[in-house]
Amino acid sequence: MIRFLQTPGPTKKIVLGGLLLLICAAMVITLVPGGLGSDLGFGGPPAGVVAKVAGQNVTVNEVQQQAKQMLRQQFPKGGAQMGMLLPFFASRAAEQLINEKAIVAEAQRMGLHASDEEVRDELQHGGLGTYLFPGGNYIGDEAYEDFVSRNFEMTIPQFEQAEKDNILARKLRQVIAGSAIVTESEIRQEFDQKNTKVKFQYAVLNVDDIKKGLHPTEEELKAYYDQHKASYNNSIPEKRKIKYVLFDTSKLQAQTQISQPELQNYYDQHRDEYRVPEQVKVSHILIKTPLPGPDGKVDQKGVEEARKKAEDILKQLKAGAKFEDLAKKYSEDPGSAKENGSLGWIGRGRTVPEFEKVAFSLPKGQISDVVQSSYGFHIIRVDDKQDAHMKSLAEVKDQIEPVLKQQKSAQAAENEANSLLNQARTDGIDKAAAAKGLQPVTSDFFARTETLPGIGSSPQFMDAVFGAREKAPPDMVQVPQGFAVYEVEAVKPPATPSFQEIRARVEEEFKNDRANTLLHQKAQELSDRAKSAHDLAKAAKELGATLKTGDLVTPEGQVPDIGSMGGPASVAFSMKPGDISGPIDANGHGIVLALTDKQQPTDQDFAQKKDQIRDQLLQSKQNELFGLFIDNLRKDMEKAGKIKVNQQELKNLSRSPTEEGE
């Protein structure tokens, strides 16, 4: 363990938030198409190793540990869903760990290093200081080791190595993304684009109105059919007729019994899922403090006014006022104010340190004094508390029993289906089913997109049925309800329909095509007439269009009949008052705009938001640069064979609880 934790100096803090940098960077890779989780290389890693990245192993144990930690963060109170979702989180955890090692390996290849001194500095100024150094005093080696074990499931060397990896990842990002710059013109352009407002009249032509007036002749429809005959080729899909027996897991599940030893065994194997972290249920009243101005300074007068308001509210509470009433009336946290101030249950590390320290130290039912944080001034009430503990078997029995019943019934259904299949391949489905007292279902001819009695929608079943040969021996496939044994009795190949067979479809498509063509022509005529006469209202009346007037709207706004102003109607923001637009296609409507007003944002507004926009644009550019770099890194490492994934281990980790029970 690093001994500098015991040395005197300024208040030491260990970074929790910093550890998330690797995860964020890993997400960049994960989101790139064809990411690191794809099938990579040949001659994969050995059993027990999910992947090898630049010579470093990502083991099954590491992935399982990471997946469980991710699950506990997502579901701090536990629950049956944790076991069901573990395979999904295992896949994500594997991706994350592979990505982390790729990033660290590249940082090391580029000659970047993380020294003990840098780690020391990182730990001294992170977000865990309130836990490891309360009041500036180190909690001691034993407590430190216990804290890391409980919260990260790591040893001290592993935890501190993770800090070094985090520093390397941050350095790599700084090197790659450090060249990103944002110009003043880009900032102003972004600001103007988002904050300019326009107001306009608009004339609306509806495609449905035009469609109602269309009455094509038989000759027109036949001609349309002939012109588009290629699109109708084989449009009558292949159909099949099958015989099948369904083994429904739910019916078996109702008869399945679970013994106490089975419950105990499952509980012992999944204990980590039932660990409940320390939590408090809190409510608060927030009075916000002013944000920094363009010069970076905070209005101290505004801060003092906020403090005084919070203190006045506290006096009302001490005088007997109801917390819920004052939260609704005064709290400037809109999300919790409408819930009587309640924030619900929170765990450690979920809020700012000043708030968290008070929330976890107050006794249940007590109201705090005024607490200042970066958000403003809080008055906190602790509604309930829950110590970290392990749920007992009795507490989680009702969660475990359905899982075990589902596993056992699924295994029983598969066993029965296999038994029937073996006999059916010798004697046929009818005799095999009769021997077991079952009645097979014989379907009518059906297409791949249709549903069958008892099975419903099952792409996996349809893939199997439509991939089998006619009169082939019976086979078995898993379906949502359980398992089905089937055989294909007959096949009707795809066919091209005659005109009469699809006359209704031809008529509908004819009308749609003609109506859209006429809509565009009429909208163009509407625009031309309005521009010629400099009068949209007159042109709309002549052509039977509906004239409407909108309110001031930004590029992110919505307008009836038009929809989002970020779509084709965004042309309005490039127009001048008095201009009339060309035809705009919007959600089945033909639209023509006449701009009546345009309001540019003020320089004062720009000054207030300039820094925020610069930060957003810079962050976006940096993310883009780093994402492109990681994309190329991935391709290079794949090509060089420096990333190899054990697909079998990945498959094993991703197996559902039902599959695990097989």
Quote the CA–CA distance of 101 and 557 in Å, as a whole number.
43
CATH at residue 653? 1.10.4030
Reported confidence tier of residue 14, pLDDT bands at 50, 70, 90: very low
**C-alpha 62, offset from chain centre:** 24
Please tell me whether residues 537 and 642 are part of one structural domain. Answer: no
Please tell me whether residues 173 and 54 are part of one structural domain. Answer: yes
Flag the least confident range among 77-91, 154-168, 234-248, 526-540. 77-91
584, pLDDT greater than 70: yes
Instruction: Report yes or no on 614 lying in a domain.
Output: no
Closest CA to 574 of 285, 284, 275, 198: 198
Residue 533 sits in which domain range? 197-233+501-599
Q: What is the pLDDT of residues 72-121, one digit of tens each?
A: 777 766 555 566 677 888 888 888 888 889 999 999 999 999 888 887 77
Q: What is the DSSP letter of 600?
A: P
* Amino acid 400: pLDDT: 92
Please tell me whether residues 158 and 219 are part of one structural domain. Answer: no
Last residue of some domain: 458, 492, 526? 492
* Amino acid 272: pLDDT: 83
Q: How many CA atoms lie within 13 A of 31 on its CB side?
A: 11
Across the range 132-152, mean pLDDT stands at 75
Instruction: Report yes or no on 612 lying in a domain.
Output: no
DSSP assignment string, 31-61: TSTT-TTS---SS-PPTTEEEEETTEEEEHH
Q: Report CA torsion sign: 91, 95, 101, 104.
A: negative
Quote the CA–CA distance of 657 and 410 in Å, as a whole number.
10
Quote the CA–CA distance of 394 and 84 in Å, as a whole number.
20
Please tell me whether residues 37 and 173 are part of one structural domain. Answer: yes
Quote the CA–CA distance of 199 and 359 in Å, as a whole number.
49
Across the range 191-201, mean pLDDT stands at 93
Q: What is the DSSP letter of 550?
A: P
Please tell me whether residues 42 and 144 are part of one structural domain. Answer: yes
**C-alpha separations of 110 from 104, 176, 340, 522 in Å:** 10, 11, 54, 63
Instruction: Report yes or no on 607 lying in a domain.
Output: no
Please tell me whether residues 115 and 9 are part of one structural domain. Answer: yes
Which amino acid is residue 118, in one-letter code? E
Please tell me whether residues 367 and 437 are part of one structural domain. Answer: no
Instruction: Report yes or no on 260 lying in a domain.
Output: no
Q: 440 has which bridge partners?
A: none
Which amino acid is residue 583, in one-letter code? P
Q: H or E segment at 323?
A: helix 323-330
Cβ 565 vs Cβ 572: under 8 Å: yes
Reported confidence tier of residue 455, pLDDT bands at 50, 70, 90: very high
33, pLDDT greater than 70: no
For residue 376 the two structure tokens come to: 């403003």
Please tell me whether residues 330 and 465 are part of one structural domain. Answer: no
Reported confidence tier of residue 11, pLDDT bands at 50, 70, 90: very low
Instruction: Encode 354-384: b = buried (16+ Cβ within 10 Å), e = exposed.
Output: ebbebbbebeeeebbebbebebbbbbbbbbe
Instruction: Report yes or no on 184 lying in a domain.
Output: no
**What is the phi/psi pair of residue 477, to 5°?**
-145, 145
Q: What is the mean pLDDT of the chain?
A: 86
* Amino acid 662: pLDDT: 45
Across the range 438-449, mean pLDDT stands at 95
* Amino acid 90: pLDDT: 87
Instruction: Report yes or no on 116 lying in a domain.
Output: yes
* Amino acid 7: pLDDT: 38
Q: What is the pLDDT of residues 473-511, one digit of tens each?
A: 999 999 988 999 999 999 999 999 999 999 999 999 999
* Amino acid 554: pLDDT: 94
Cβ 330 vs Cβ 315: under 8 Å: no
Closest CA to 285 of 254, 329, 225: 329
Reported confidence tier of residue 339, pLDDT bands at 50, 70, 90: very high
Closest CA to 116 of 150, 149, 157: 157
Number of domains in the chain: 4
Instruction: Report yes or no on 187 lying in a domain.
Output: no
Please tell me whether residues 206 and 301 are part of one structural domain. Answer: no
Instruction: Using the structure block, give the residue that is written with the tokens 């029965």.
Output: 416
Instruction: Report yes or no on 190 lying in a domain.
Output: no
CATH at residue 341? 3.10.50.40
**C-alpha separations of 375 from 96, 173, 220, 333 in Å:** 32, 29, 69, 10
Instruction: Identify which has the larger pLDDT, 23 or 388.
Output: 388
Please tell me whether residues 522 and 377 are part of one structural domain. Answer: no
Please tell me whether residues 400 and 380 are part of one structural domain. Answer: no
* Amino acid 13: pLDDT: 35
Quote the CA–CA distance of 660 and 662 in Å, as a whole number.
5
Percent of the chain with pLDDT over 90: 56
Reported confidence tier of residue 294, pLDDT bands at 50, 70, 90: low
* Amino acid 461: pLDDT: 95
Please tell me whether residues 354 and 460 are part of one structural domain. Answer: no
Across the range 15-41, mean pLDDT stands at 38
Q: How many CA atoms lie within 13 A of 255 on its CB side?
A: 8
Across the range 637-643, mean pLDDT stands at 87
* Amino acid 135: pLDDT: 64
Q: What is the pLDDT of residues 47-61, one digit of tens each?
A: 889 889 998 898 988
Last residue of some domain: 461, 492, 523? 492
Across the range 238-267, mean pLDDT stands at 92
For residue 543 the two structure tokens come to: 């052509």
Quote the CA–CA distance of 286 and 430 in Å, as a whole number.
72
